Amino acid sequence: MAGLSGVAGAGPAAADQVTLGLDYHCTFPLLGPEPVHVDLTADVPSSVEVGQQMNGFVIDSVSAVNAESARALGALYSVTLEGNALADATLTVPEEPDGLPVQVDSALDKTALPASGGFTVHGKGTSPDLTFTQAGPGKVTVGNLVLTLTPRTDDGGPTGLGTFQSECIQDPGQNNVLASFQITLPGAQGPSKPGTPAVTAHTSTSVTLGWGASTETGGTVTGYDVYSNGAVVASSTGTTATVPNLTPKTSYTFTVKAKDGKGNVSDASDPVTVTTDAAGPSSHAYALKGTTTIKASNGTVPLTGSLNTQVAPDTGAVTGDLALDPADAALQAFGFLPVTAHLAFANQGPTSGTYTGGALSTDTKVLVKASSFTAFGIVPIGGGDQCQTTAPSDLKLASAGTFDPAKGGALKGGYDLADLTGCGPITGLLSPLVAGTGNTADLALTPKSGS
């Protein structure tokens, strides 16, 4: 550990400004855990030589506290707030690959509490001076916080809370890398500054960059790192790289640094800023199963098939394709005679609809065809290739309860059936078995594997 402290003979390394925003939940008296957002700014060198002092860098913080926490403090006659914040950080360098715990104590400015609404608290702290014994990459990550706070009344005295500690737990799933830097061998000449990156392609979640190559006298450039907000987001052995896992419709600024086999890193290229595309429609494929009732003849039809949809992220507009398999309908003629109709369903265009607020609705125009009617399941009484409804049915379906596109759910709806035509000599008798209003459908959608 001696290699990580003390002062070397070389001068301090030049620093670059880095920023990081983090969300926490801090436990306050009377309230319990409350959300607090902290923005951090620091000047951290992008590279430092082995044996060269990396001066302790100043970390400025701005913490945003919500209105509910402010009201709770005000209820105890607090008019100002002061104290300090102790931040857990981890320094990862070649001689400490598992991370060295480092604590940074920041003094918080005395802050006047507002009459209403939230407020911000500014703080400032300094990390310890460090020197390193091995070349390679280094990074600083920020962890949890402990706030020691003293609210005061208008006469400067403490409130009934006195001085208390608030433990702040970092919300999971965030990038908590404050800074990345390179530790280089002393006296070696590093790569030249790369050319300004240019955007060669972009999607809603990725950006592809290209840049001019770096050179190195007496050495070899081995690769490049792409940085955004102080963190490496892509690496390449050539002069192009694709940055993945970006957020749609978001602005990003990128720089590029070259590196060699000795651990040397170039100065950062000039920056380029790009905004990712809007997200494309999400696609979902479902297997369909359920029943429909034909009111005119008290008939029940088992339904199977599929529904493929695309949902526009900005508008919730749905387009898709509803496919219903042919099915046998169990009908009753004259209220007692069992008749089986073999039905097929021909879509008259794509399915349309909306998905908003957890509710899915679809609308499909379907022409119903009856290739055969049989009495008692064996006696043909009509049907044929030309037997069909005289007009398409407007099949409208809506989710029953909250619909999760990733999990599927239930759809219910209704439709009318037009008169039949082309079903043979007794078309006039067969049509009343089918035609009419008030028909219902009750379906369950199950996501297909891989959708």
pLDDT in tens, 105-149: 999 999 999 989 999 999 998 888 888 888 888 899 999 999 999
Pairwise pLDDT comparison (162 vs 1), residue with the higher score: 162
Total domain count, the chain = 3
Question: The sheet that has 251-260: what strands, in order across it?
Answer: 231-236, 221-228, 251-260, 272-275
**Are 292 and 384 found together in one domain?**
yes
What pLDDT does 3 receive? 37
For the segment 336-365, what is each residue's pLDDT rounded down to a tens digit? 889 999 999 999 999 999 998 889 999 999
**Are 42 and 100 found together in one domain?**
yes
Report in angstroms the alpha-carbon separations of 37 from 71, 72, 357: 18, 18, 27
For the segment 189-225, what is each residue's pLDDT rounded down to a tens digit? 678 999 999 999 988 889 999 999 998 876 789 999 9
Last residue of a domain, one of 159, 184, 209: 184
By the 8 A CB rule, do 140 and 101 touch? no
Classify residue 267: in a domain, yes or no.
yes
**Are 263 and 287 found together in one domain?**
no
**Are 103 and 15 found together in one domain?**
yes
Domain with 110 in it: 2-184
**Are 209 and 271 found together in one domain?**
yes
Q: Residue 103: is its pLDDT beyond 90?
A: no
Classify residue 70: in a domain, yes or no.
yes
**Are 162 and 202 found together in one domain?**
no
CATH number, residue 126: 2.60.40
For the segment 361-401, what is each residue's pLDDT rounded down to a tens digit? 999 999 999 999 999 878 999 999 999 999 999 999 999 88
Residue type for position 48? V
pLDDT mean over 424-434: 93
CATH number, residue 270: 2.60.40.10
What pLDDT does 2 receive? 30
Q: Residue 241: is its pLDDT beyond 60?
A: yes
CA–CA dist 285, 307 (Å, integer): 6
What pLDDT does 6 receive? 34
Pairwise pLDDT comparison (393 vs 184), residue with the higher score: 393
pLDDT band at 181 (very low <50, low <70, confident <90, very high): confident
Mean pLDDT score of the chain: 89
Classify residue 31: in a domain, yes or no.
yes
Q: Residue 153: is its pLDDT beyond 80?
A: yes
3-state secondary structure of 358: coil
Beta strands in 267-378 (DSSP E): 272-275, 282-294, 299-311, 317-324, 327-333, 337-347, 351-356, 359-375
**Are 328 and 267 found together in one domain?**
no
Pairwise pLDDT comparison (417 vs 102), residue with the higher score: 417
Last residue of a domain, one of 238, 259, 275: 275
pLDDT mean over 59-85: 90
pLDDT mean over 80-92: 92
**Are 270 and 288 found together in one domain?**
no
What pLDDT does 450 receive? 60
Classify residue 189: in a domain, yes or no.
no
**Are 290 and 179 found together in one domain?**
no
Last residue of a domain, one of 142, 157, 184: 184
**Are 155 and 63 found together in one domain?**
yes
CA–CA dist 300, 294 (Å, integer): 6
What pLDDT does 12 receive? 46
**Are 253 and 341 found together in one domain?**
no
Classify residue 72: in a domain, yes or no.
yes
Beta bridge partners, 225, equal 235, 257
Classify residue 193: in a domain, yes or no.
no
Burial of 307 (0-12, 13-18, 19+ CB in 10 A): buried
Give me the count of residues in the chain.
451
